Amino acid sequence: MIIVTGGAGFIGSNIVKGLNARGYDDILVVDDLSDGTKYRNLLGCSIRDYMDKDDFLAAVERGDDFGSAVEAVFHQGACSSTTEWDGRYMMKVNYEYTKALFHYCQNRTVPLIYASSASVYGAGPTYIEDPRYEAPLNVYGYSKYLFDQYLRRHLDGLRAQVVGLRYFNVYGPNEQHKGSMASVAYHFYNQIREQGRVRLFEGSDGYGPGEQRRDFIHVDDVVALNLWFMEHPDVSGVFNAGTGNARTFNDVARAVINWYGQGEIEYIPFPEHLVGRYQSFTQADLTLLRSAGYREAFTSVEEGVSRYMSVLAGA
């Protein structure tokens, strides 16, 4: 059996579909369906069972075996809102939960692949998996940073694989429930459909209007990374999950406009509440990932956005 926490969410549901495509259907999905609309992300998926995240944590803390040998755990469940400032809640849901699952998996020699975040790097500009370059700008980033540090302290004594993947700007199908935290590609699609134009921030941190640069990675590439690590259980550590190629918000906007065949860009004032809390540039350093043996190419913004727009249009 394979366990996917956050399995009804954006990345989690795509991992479930990726597992199905490789012939795995003995899957336990763990999530919180307080937002009942997320069930749609699992339509067409083949899974063994579903379990609420709180019930699952209680079972983990009791040491339950879930009725079957666990082959691997993909821990994608988290509070991923970068605007959430309830630190007690964030640390409980992200840090303590992951720590409990870590020890459960270690005690049973079960591989654990979990979602970290590029937010641990803060404002950058260096995105190398090294504590010298890690300074999160919000408590969400800190909750991810702290567990990465916890793993590093245990790396030498691991009994089973543990991998933290620092996701950069992921976009693609099944993110509609994320609201304001959905990707810019998703928001641009809706803005053009409703208003005929996309809205980008004016210049910030020395970048011109819409020229802020991010490492945008298609969710299919994120799934491929997760499954590669599952198939290479000898590799552990914290790794960047980006393309290694920063692209501008203008690039993403133009890719959406080109797919539509119409639309324009409108630049709006940079929000004051984001000054000093905004990543104007991100770009994954892939040295460590490549040295671990991952050789696959990553999807370009033009190809990935076009593919995603076609999915949205057919939804």
**pLDDT tens-digit readout, 208-219:** 999 999 999 999
Query: Please, where in the chain does CATH 3.90.25.10 lie?
Result: 176-213+246-281+304-314
Encode pLDDT of 92-135 as tens digits: 989 999 999 999 999 999 999 999 999 999 988 999 999 999 99
- Model confidence over 11-24: pLDDT tens digits? 999 999 999 999 99
**Residue 125 in tokens:** 């500009």
- What kind of fold does domain 2-171+216-244+286-299 have according to CATH? Rossmann fold (3.40.50)
Supply the pTM of this predicted model: 0.95
**pLDDT recorded at residue 83:** 65
Locate CATH 3.40.50.720 in the chain.
Answer: 2-171+216-244+286-299
Active-site amino acid positions: 140, 178
Q: Which of 198, 217, 192, 200 is nearest to 312 (CA)?
A: 192
Give CATH for domain 176-213+246-281+304-314: 3.90.25.10
C-alpha to C-alpha distance for 102 and 97, rounded to whole angstroms? 9
- Which two three-digit tokens encode residue 232? 């290479």
Given this model, what pLDDT does residue 86 score?
Answer: 79
